[in-house]
Amino acid sequence: MDAGPIIFFIVVLLLLLTGYPVAFTLGGASIIFGLFTFGIEFFNLLPLRIWGIMNNYILIAVPLFIFMGVMFEKSGLAEDLLETMALLFGKLKGGLAISVLIVGAMLAAATGIVGATVVTMGVLSLPTMLKRGYNPKSACGIISASGTLGQIIPPSIVLVLLGSVLNISVGDLFMAAVIPGFILVALYLGWIILTTFLNPKDLPAMPMEDLEIFRTSNMYKKIVGAFIAPVVLIIAVLGSIFAGIASPTEAAAIGAFGATLLTIFRKKFSLKTLNDVMVQTTRLTSMAFLILVGASAFGLVFRGMGGDRYLTELISGIEPHHFLLIVMLIIFVAGFFIDFIEITFIIVPVVAPIFVHLGIDLLWVGILIAINLQTSFLTPPFGFALFYLKGVAPPSVKTSHIYKGIMPYVAIQLFALFLIILFPEIALWFPNFLKQ
């Protein structure tokens, strides 16, 4: 078998590790190898592949979900949620950490953007947690981990991209991700409770005087005001998908419109706000789609060189579950160095046909990959959640605090990953139930 595909793959990986922009690395290397493989005919094939991306209706959901998340952040609801939840759980040891976890899960379901969630909670809750005597390591750990829940809890950008790459229903992926997302939240909560018993000084309760002020100042009105808007937005988006009323793309449009209405009702909307949201949406969408174009060129050349046949022959005789574990390990290690978009567009298209060949359920695989990709936000040296949090943390918080704080949560995510590998029905039960 020709070693060309392997040489091509290794060259691309080495170029990526140099730090050169991913989209141009993929596109440039693919054009050079494509010319050697297809000749001048390559320039007739590549536009057809790119046009196929532009015509992909599912991918319209990406800018719409990003717009929804950024606009929701501008509404100021995250601040109200954090303050209300902190005071509700404040009398408990670890109450602030529990409130950060719950708000992180709600923001994940309302925005799906990890960076915005981590930064928002870092700015609003980290100074308060440190002021209340929280161990910096524990505070940083729960903020970073809660912020990454947007990777698995729908509506998640990574699930939209995975649905497109794996050629499976995004709605099914959203449904399959619900129970794994709740399991992760429950495991995080269990760790917080365990920490309050093992190291109670790390997660102290809030002073009673703060709680009394809250209870005597329209407590119920604040609770309802903080919760009702994000819950309505979540139900409008996810409920319309799960009920079969709207496709994920249509639901994303509902979410974008709903988040804009929330910002208007809270009197936080202005032309400057709209401009900022549109600029951020354009920037994030352009980055993702440039990488997608480069990755499509990579996939075209890799398959044209016989790379998929090479890999299929290479794994012949390997048990399907062994191959699955190898892929999960590769994705986990890759997450130390490159982000989830690059892994989704580079590694997943290469292995997807092999999963089909081995008869493995791609819906189950998609959820496993999504949980695995979630760890890429937390694993040093290039965990983006760590960078986001460090960028807004007080000077007293060291990088070592953040790195040590996330270790238990990376272990929890890996435990959840193996749990779903052992029991696929955790991911598959809910979509099968809704289809009955």
Helical spans, DSSP H, in 271-339: 271-304, 307-314, 320-334
pLDDT score of 214 more than 60: no
pLDDT in tens, 273-332: 999 999 988 988 887 788 778 877 887 888 778 776 777 776 666 888 888 999 999 889
Q: Which residue has the higher pLDDT, 227 or 151?
A: 151
> How high is the pLDDT of residue 39?
81
The type of residue at 255 is: G
d(CA 159, CA 376): 15
d(CA 202, CA 191): 13
Lowest mean pLDDT across 50-54, 156-160, 166-170 = 50-54
d(CA 242, CA 169): 12
The 8-class DSSP code of residue 205 comes to P
CA-nearest of 281, 279, 277, 295 to 21 is: 295
d(CA 92, CA 196): 10
pLDDT score of 210 more than 70: no
pLDDT in tens, 81-105: 777 777 777 677 888 888 889 888 8
Q: How many residues would you count in the chain?
A: 436
> How high is the pLDDT of residue 176?
94
Quickly tell me which residue has 């939840």 as its tokens: 85
> How high is the pLDDT of residue 343?
84
242-268: b (≥16 Cβ within 10 Å) or e: beeebbbbbbbbbbbebbbbbbeeeee
pLDDT score of 166 more than 80: yes
CA-nearest of 156, 188, 186, 171 to 369 is: 156
> How high is the pLDDT of residue 292?
79
48-67 average pLDDT score: 80
> How high is the pLDDT of residue 112?
67
pLDDT in tens, 167-208: 898 889 999 999 999 999 999 999 999 998 888 888 887 767
153-179 average pLDDT score: 89
The number of angstroms, rounded, from the C-alpha of 192 to the middle of its chain's C-alpha atoms is 22
pLDDT score of 218 more than 80: no
Across all residues in the chain, what is the average pLDDT?
83
Helical spans, DSSP H, in 39-113: 42-54, 61-74, 77-88, 95-110
> How high is the pLDDT of residue 418?
94
